[in-house]
Structure 1
Amino acid sequence: MTDNIAQFAELHQPGQPLILYNIWDAGSAQVAVRAGAKAVATGSLSVAGAQGFEDGEKLPFEFALTNAKHIVSAVDVPVSIDLETGYGADATAVGENARQMKDAGVAGLNLEDQDLSAGGLRDVSEQAERVKAAADTGLFINARTDLFIQTPLTDHDDALAQKALERCQAYADAGAGSFFIPFAADEKLIGDICEKASLPVNIMRMPDSPSISRLAELGVARISYGPGPWMAAMTAFEAEALKIFRNQA
Structure 2
Amino acid sequence: MTTTDAPTAVQVFRALHHGRPAGDPLVLANPWDAVSARAFAEAGFRALATSSGAIAAVLGYADGEQTPADEMFAAVARIVRAVDVPVTADIEAGYGLAPKELVERLLEAGAVGCNLEDSDPVTGRLKDAGRHADWLTEFQAEAAGRLVLNARVDTFLYGDRDVADAVARSRRYAEAGADCVYPILAPVEFLPELAAGAGAPVNALALPGGPSPAQLGRLGATRITFGHTLHHRIAATVQELATELSADA
With the length of structure 1 as denominator, give the TM-score of the two structures: 0.90
The residue aligned with 1:185 is 187
The equivalent position to 2:139 in structure 1, one of 106, 123, 134, is: 134
How far apart are the structure 2 equivalents of 1:225 and 1:94? Answer: 26
The residue aligned with 1:244 is 245
The equivalent position to 1:108 in structure 2, one of 113, 125, 134, is: 113
1:216 is the counterpart of 2:217: yes
Letter of the 1:110 partner, please give it.
Answer: N
Letter of the 1:63 partner, please give it.
Answer: E
- Contact 2:207–2:226 at 8 Å: present in 1 too? yes
- Contact 1:111–1:142 at 8 Å: present in 2 too? yes
Aligned pairs (5 A) from 1:77-96? 77-88=85-96, 93-96=98-101
Report the CA distance between 1:170 and its aligned residue: 1.4
The residue aligned with 1:73 is 81
Report the CA distance between 1:67 and its aligned residue: 1.1
The residue aligned with 1:27 is 35
Report the CA distance between 1:247 and its aligned residue: 2.1
Distance change in 2, residues 1:134/1:209 (3 Å) = farther
Letter of the 1:113 partner, please give it.
Answer: D
1:88-135 Cα offsets, whole Å, 9 max, x none, are 16xxx1331222111221101000001123431000112112222332
The equivalent position to 2:164 in structure 1, one of 162, 167, 187, is: 162
Letter of the 2:85 partner, please give it.
Answer: V
- Contact 1:95–1:130 at 8 Å: present in 2 too? no
The residue aligned with 1:49 is 57
How far apart are the structure 2 equivalents of 1:148 and 1:2? Answer: 36
Backbone CA RMSD of aligned residues: 1.7
How far apart are the structure 2 equivalents of 1:25 and 1:11? Answer: 23
Unaligned runs of 5+ in 2: 1-5
Determine what percentage of the aligned residue pairs are the same residue. Answer: 34
Letter of the 1:245 partner, please give it.
Answer: S
- Contact 2:10–2:113 at 8 Å: present in 1 too? yes
- Contact 2:182–2:204 at 8 Å: present in 1 too? yes
Report the CA distance between 1:149 and its aligned residue: 1.2
- Contact 1:22–1:229 at 8 Å: present in 2 too? yes
Query: What number of residue pairs does the alignment pair up?
Result: 238
SS at match of 2:8: helix
Unaligned runs of 5+ in 1: none
Aligned pairs (5 A) from 1:143-158? 143-151=151-159, 156=161
With the length of structure 2 as denominator, give the TM-score of the two structures: 0.90
